[in-house]
Structure 1
């Protein structure tokens, strides 16, 4: 299956960001595309209430979209076992036209890698390989390598201890040359075969596919001598037996490998420094893929649809590495650049969900009851039950149609949802500060503004010192010039503002003098994008 297109909202997502991603993925899939909803952060209590209400699982969590080893690796690989022979290795290299092959155990555990160079080095040293005692060759390896048939013998896993000899001399001479435990290549010379058995050779390899005399087989069985009949002539057997060495004797065990989640940007330097052609990708000790350094040059980029934001500073980390194919949003344009023309649906409404719902109807795609519930929830959340100045008549009309499909009473359901999201008992000061946090470039300053809507703002303000410390921690970690927390009262339709950072005097220039406790009370302020960001931009210009 091809890679999906991900539809994803902003970091520290709110209900609109999550629900619009799910609903837009539904629309795109209904139109025949392969789209997967995703999220760029934790689910907040309000959004959890919404998802649980309609039996929908949270979207896939994607904290960044930097390309990783798993994005550029081959999952279909040629492998070899350590007990396979060099002959089998050569066959695989020729058949599949590869330069290196990972060596794995039966369970897929990576134990080494073997290359054409390793094989060539063994062929260069071929004459020194006739003594098989140090190579770990067993009878099974010889049998496979010579394509032989076992006439008699014991355990095929038994290691070879003798040298390889060719019975090319007279019987009397052979008796002086061969030693007990040797491996002897011999044709259809019964007398020589019997002599070898009498001397105590470990194995007779009968070349030319000649039959074995009954007396020879009987003597071999009595002496415990292996007999292997092979279809090749003696010369070919002498050459091929050198290829019976197991791969484990020539493989490299110090393998440069990567984990599936290693960033491509991090592994490039290793690849450049080491210069190998292929690199195994290993997870929990098991081989899961192989990276070809040539394929690493141009990895396939993830395709992304952005919803509920269009600024790089608010997007998931690594957005510059992805291919943005669509944007559906209701915020100001944030200067995000794309490499080619894309589809953009941008409207001045109170919620992205309003746009997504109407796109369903415009394309004659039916909205299921649960998706209608998500979209309605997102509109209620972003417009604070239509109390925010960002709400429009289109939001209200859309919400009415969605409520009919979802069979919900807007006012009752909306209050229940907002109450569920305003419970802060289980939230730490850091959680509160990170709730729906968005990053803005205001003049020369990078400002993080988070907003939490609650029934009782005073309960939050009791944590003022801890909240300011959390703002300070976020600013220092992310190198923000300023961090602002908006605590919005749902019932009294007002906002309390806390901040940390520079420039000194910015908040006073934008909103006048604050209260003695170091907070600002902003009556009637419900919208971050319409009532907080614009005054800050004007204040920066004046300063």
Structure 2
């Protein structure tokens, strides 16, 4: 049985500190309420967020690059397997007991080596028209002993492989001698001692006396002298012959190199392979080991991932494959962006400076204590989103919440806040492409698909010195992903101002929105720090004017 899947709480792509920390904080709230909720992230953790996580000793959330259904979502436990050295009799027992039509085959270490189907077993039985040369099948004496429920009267080497054929001793002794060769396994009913001794003296490797026939001391003595097996089985000769044929190891009839899938393979990618091969079950392998099976019968209606969106509510900003998931809640502080759900859901949105402000107060409203580490992360998110309360998006509610969180976390807001902002303010070894995608969010503004990234620094010069390379990287993103415009906010934390770099069209949108000369590749916007409140609203109004 598969365990219940968790609900993921996750922020937007290219996550910032609020997106990561609010996901962790809200997961804590839901867990305290008894729900199986796990924090996740939709991208790489930036330097600022990394500083906060390490300072408060909290692990990064699990990375979800997309929510497309994968093999792991429909995979069944593979507790029913057979080993390659197991016999066909064992295979038949497993198939009957569990009503299976195919069974994965592994070696002794659990490494996947093949698959065997009921059709393979049936083909083997059709081959029973004549006794098989067991020397070619690598059948062991110990398997024959087990399959025929034999009592060992004289023991040879049980681990040895049978080197001859299986012969049935019927008719006169002269006829029997004509069909028996050295190393054969001979099946014989209740015969006179002289006949049995003559058979033993033919140099056979094993004498199987069927029907619990009598075996005298003289026969046993003769067999011991030859170093061969003498077995006594309760079954009749015909049954014993069939049982020995079932001692063939599974690896002799299995399909080697079967069609396998990996847990992270997307269902959309494997359907074509399933249609071409048309098997019922397929092994799922990871690092060579069998971890499960996927059945074509379970492929049609996989259980969808359940997600809680925090710090965003627009499809363009959500993790890839969000349309394949079931959104169960939204907690956000941005404009409503038009995500559609199949049924009513819980939504909590407030016009505050940070989602973490909402998350913290939801804890207190439900009388759930916030641990110091979680309080520290929620505080970090507020400091980041409000740029230490300098952003125009900051409210008194944010400030009061931050103060209460700082007391729980045991930190000085200004001292810790400046250290965290410094940690995230340098570009370090970031490439122009990475800067162009930093904290990237996508917006539909009028008829235009626009992306707006933001990087906050103490000194804008190190970024602006890269302006030509940045513009080139921004244009490549537009060309590759089909955006109309790419904007990058280079925000000076100390000066409380932003250089807005832009590429694409229409550039008149920039000029109209900010009343600036947009003939170049950037405009300087003193007092501008907030994308949400000072960039997107003017652009939304400007698009109405230029489209008239």
Query: Which residue in the other structure is 1:186 paired with?
Result: 188
| More off after superposition, 20-29 vs 397-406 | 397-406
Instruction: Tell whether 2:229 aligns with 1:226.
Output: yes
Instruction: Tell whether 2:264 aligns with 1:261.
Output: yes
Conservation of the 8 A alpha-carbon contact between 1:77 and 1:290:
no
1:12: how far off?
0.6
* In 1: Cα distance, 2:517 partner to 2:525 partner: 9
Query: Which residue in the other structure is 2:344 paired with?
Result: 341
- When the two structures are superposed, what TM-score results if normalisation uses the length of structure 2? 0.95
* In 2: Cα distance, 1:207 partner to 1:88 partner: 22
Query: Which residue in the other structure is 1:214 paired with?
Result: 217
Which residue of 524, 544, 547 maps to 1:541? 544
1:305–1:159 CA distance, 2 compared to 1 (3 A): same
1:97: how far off?
0.5
Query: Which residue in the other structure is 1:196 paired with?
Result: 199
1:211: how far off?
5.5
Conservation of the 8 A alpha-carbon contact between 1:304 and 1:325:
yes
1:286: how far off?
1.7
- SS of the residue 2:339 aligns to: coil
* In 2: Cα distance, 1:21 partner to 1:44 partner: 15
Query: Which residue in the other structure is 2:126 paired with?
Result: 124
* In 1: Cα distance, 2:306 partner to 2:151 partner: 57
1:228: how far off?
2.2
Query: Which residue in the other structure is 1:139 paired with?
Result: 141
Q: How does 1:78-477 map to 2 (within 5 A)?
A: 78-189=80-191, 190-210=193-213, 212-477=215-480
1:311: how far off?
0.9
1:134-159 CA-partner distances (Å, limit 9, x unpaired): 33323233223223233334333433
- SS of the residue 2:255 aligns to: coil
Conservation of the 8 A alpha-carbon contact between 2:508 and 2:518:
no
1:364-394 CA-partner distances (Å, limit 9, x unpaired): 0001111111111111111111211111121
* In 1: Cα distance, 2:115 partner to 2:521 partner: 65
Instruction: Tell whether 2:539 aligns with 1:501.
Output: no
Conservation of the 8 A alpha-carbon contact between 2:489 and 2:500:
yes
* In 2: Cα distance, 1:130 partner to 1:449 partner: 74
1:208: how far off?
2.3
Query: Which residue in the other structure is 1:41 paired with?
Result: 43
Which residue of 483, 486, 490 maps to 1:487? 490
1:540: how far off?
2.0
1:510: how far off?
1.6
* In 2: Cα distance, 1:231 partner to 1:514 partner: 102
* In 1: Cα distance, 2:262 partner to 2:270 partner: 10
* In 2: Cα distance, 1:209 partner to 1:314 partner: 78
- When the two structures are superposed, what TM-score results if normalisation uses the length of structure 1? 0.96
Give structure 1 stretches of 5+ with no counterpart.
none
Conservation of the 8 A alpha-carbon contact between 2:313 and 2:337:
yes
- SS of the residue 2:201 aligns to: helix
1:132: how far off?
2.8
The number of equivalent residue pairs is 543
- SS of the residue 1:36 aligns to: strand
* In 2: Cα distance, 1:338 partner to 1:129 partner: 66
* In 2: Cα distance, 1:471 partner to 1:177 partner: 85
Conservation of the 8 A alpha-carbon contact between 1:496 and 1:520:
yes
Instruction: Tell whether 2:53 aligns with 1:51.
Output: yes
* In 2: Cα distance, 1:217 partner to 1:94 partner: 39
1:229-283 CA-partner distances (Å, limit 9, x unpaired): 2231222112222212221121111411112211111001111221101101112
* In 2: Cα distance, 1:257 partner to 1:68 partner: 14
Query: Which residue in the other structure is 1:28 paired with?
Result: 30
1:290: how far off?
0.8
- SS of the residue 1:294 aligns to: helix
* In 1: Cα distance, 2:323 partner to 2:149 partner: 56
Conservation of the 8 A alpha-carbon contact between 2:510 and 2:518:
no
Conservation of the 8 A alpha-carbon contact between 1:167 and 1:192:
no
Which residue of 3, 8, 30 maps to 2:10? 8
| More off after superposition, 351-360 vs 389-398 | 389-398
- SS of the residue 2:379 aligns to: helix
Query: Which runs of structure 1 show a deviation greater than 6 angstroms over 4 or more consecutive aligned residues?
Result: none
Conservation of the 8 A alpha-carbon contact between 1:141 and 1:246:
no
Cα-Cα RMSD: 1.7
Conservation of the 8 A alpha-carbon contact between 2:507 and 2:518:
no
Conservation of the 8 A alpha-carbon contact between 2:507 and 2:519:
no
* In 1: Cα distance, 2:210 partner to 2:6 partner: 58
1:349: how far off?
0.7
* In 1: Cα distance, 2:86 partner to 2:29 partner: 53
1:62: how far off?
1.3
Conservation of the 8 A alpha-carbon contact between 2:331 and 2:348:
yes
